């Protein structure tokens, strides 16, 4: 599966379609999305005869760099890179100092308060992130009632292909996002539905339901999807590490087990999360020490505030001992070598070893990135419910 490339420079920007008629944009004549992804090179172009400076910044770059694009006589700015390893990449242009998405690329992703343009380099694990002609599961945005939080809360639920027509009871993976995310993050940036569709089709993953809740308990839904309207997304909302997510997580399990055809034994439940969601997964599974057979901590933010008075954060060692004694099928920890939480995770590994709690450990290249979290999901899900 390759992205089709046809390099056309027939940019038609600046042609203003009359505003009174929408959904009818006739002004374009390109046939390919920007950038052009070839086997050996990726080409970025943008037409801007009036601009004095255009820089390109992408998440494949190391350090702080933004590179200068080069303008030709027709006012087209270009930059080419050697094709990076297969993955989903994000980038933006800086046009005379203004950070922008690529006007010739309609595909983008939001990360907290920044929107970036994106492109795929196909191949290897990245092929699992792309849509293929395999049976597809259903992705539903539902709302579950939270008595504890006094609100209905939006939740994303993936049911695998054939769920609706089968009678089989399925296992459940609860999959939690990081501090900058919401109930959409794993299905947009994380490509969880595509990963599950493809791994199930390949016979590598057992059909399972994947439940993706919102981990910010002050919010009922993702930015723009709640009655708060179109606010500016902030990351450090007051609900972070206040114990509410852990305290009220049983409501989510009850909702799922009452509304879906699922198995309700411990070894048919898994919980995993990235960063803050790894922290949540750690404490939820430790506090409900006989609820989850499988735990996955992806780049987890490990330590609660030292002055945490909330019960769910206290006596962790005792809780982990109980969790171990109750039996675990898999306790899986993953971190990138340059992740800013690397040392915290090494400290946590020492604790697990002192407690003789068996765990599997994955150390990858790179940092605290969706590239790693997609990869971890692709490696973690085949280990579940076997």
Decide whether 138 or 290 has the Cβ nearer to a copy of itself: 138
Decide whether 153 or 384 has the Cβ nearer to a copy of itself: 153
Decide whether 142 or 266 has the Cβ nearer to a copy of itself: 142
φ and ψ of 267, to 5 deg: -80, 5
Instruction: Tell me the CA distances in angstroms from 341 to 180, 282, 314, 367, one per residue in order.
Output: 16, 15, 21, 9
Alpha-carbon distance of 143 to 221, in angstroms, equals 9
Residue 105 CB, nearest approach to a copy of itself (Å): 8
Residue 23 CB, nearest approach to a copy of itself (Å): 4
Cis peptide before 35 (omega within 30 of 0): yes
Residue 224 CB, nearest approach to a copy of itself (Å): 5
- 290-308: buried (b, 16+ CB within 10 Å) or exposed (e) per residue? ebbbbbbbbbbbbbbeeee
**Structure tokens that stand for 151 in this block:** 């609100």
Decide whether 79 or 385 has the Cβ nearer to a copy of itself: 79
Residue 290 CB, nearest approach to a copy of itself (Å): 27
Decide whether 152 or 379 has the Cβ nearer to a copy of itself: 152
Alpha-carbon distance of 196 to 378, in angstroms, equals 8
Decide whether 135 or 358 has the Cβ nearer to a copy of itself: 135
Alpha-carbon distance of 84 to 43, in angstroms, equals 12
Alpha-carbon distance of 386 to 384, in angstroms, equals 6
Residue 327 CB, nearest approach to a copy of itself (Å): 29
Residue 214 CB, nearest approach to a copy of itself (Å): 13
- Contact of 134 with 348, CB cutoff 8 Å: no
φ and ψ of 281, to 5 deg: -60, -40
């Amino acid at each position: 599966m390759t992205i089709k490339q046809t390099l056309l420079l027939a940019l038609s920007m600046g042609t203003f379609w009359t505003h009174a008629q929408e959904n009818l944009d006739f002004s374009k004549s390109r046939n390919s999305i920007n950038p052009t992804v070839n086997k050996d090179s990726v080409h970025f172009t943008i037409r801007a005869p009036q601009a004095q400076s255009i820089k390109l910044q992408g998440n494949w770059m190391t350090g702080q760099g933004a590179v200068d694009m080069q303008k030709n006589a027709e006012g087209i700015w270009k930059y080419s890179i050697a094709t990076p390893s297969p993955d989903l990449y994000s980038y933006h242009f800086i046009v005379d100092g203004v950070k922008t998405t690529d006007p010739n690329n309609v595909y983008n992703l939001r990360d907290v308060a920044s929107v970036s343009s994106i492109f795929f380099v196909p191949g290897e694990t990245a092929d699992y992130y792309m849509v293929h002609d395999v049976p597809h599961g259903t992705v539903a945005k539902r709302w579950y009632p939270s008595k504890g939080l006094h609100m209905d809360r939006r939740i994303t639920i993936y049911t695998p292909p054939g769920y609706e027509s089968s009678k089989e009871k399925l296992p459940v993976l609860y999959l939690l996002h990081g501090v900058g995310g919401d109930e959409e993050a794993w299905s947009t940036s994380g490509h969880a539905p595509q990963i599950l569709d493809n791994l199930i089709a390949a016979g590598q993953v057992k059909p399972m339901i994947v439940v993706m809740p919102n981990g910010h308990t002050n919010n009922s839904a993702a930015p723009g999807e709640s009655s708060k309207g179109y606010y500016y997304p902030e990351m450090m909302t007051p609900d972070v590490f206040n114990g509410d997510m852990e305290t009220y997580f049983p409501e989510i399990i009850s909702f799922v087990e009452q509304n879906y055809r699922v198995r309700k034994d411990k070894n048919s439940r898994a919980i995993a999360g990235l960063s803050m969601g790894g922290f949540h997964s750690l404490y939820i599974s430790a506090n409900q020490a006989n609820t989850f057979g499988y735990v996955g901590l992806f780049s987890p933010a490990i330590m609660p505030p030292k002055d945490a008075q909330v019960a769910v954060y206290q006596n962790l060692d005792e809780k982990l001992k109980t969790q171990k004694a109750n039996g675990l099928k898999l306790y899986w920890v993953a971190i990138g070598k340059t992740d800013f939480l690397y040392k915290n995770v090494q400290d946590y590994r020492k604790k697990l070893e002192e407690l003789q709690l068996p765990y599997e450990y994955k150390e990858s290249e790179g940092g605290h990135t969706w590239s790693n979290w997609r990869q971890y999901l692709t490696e973690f899900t085949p280990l579940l419910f076997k």
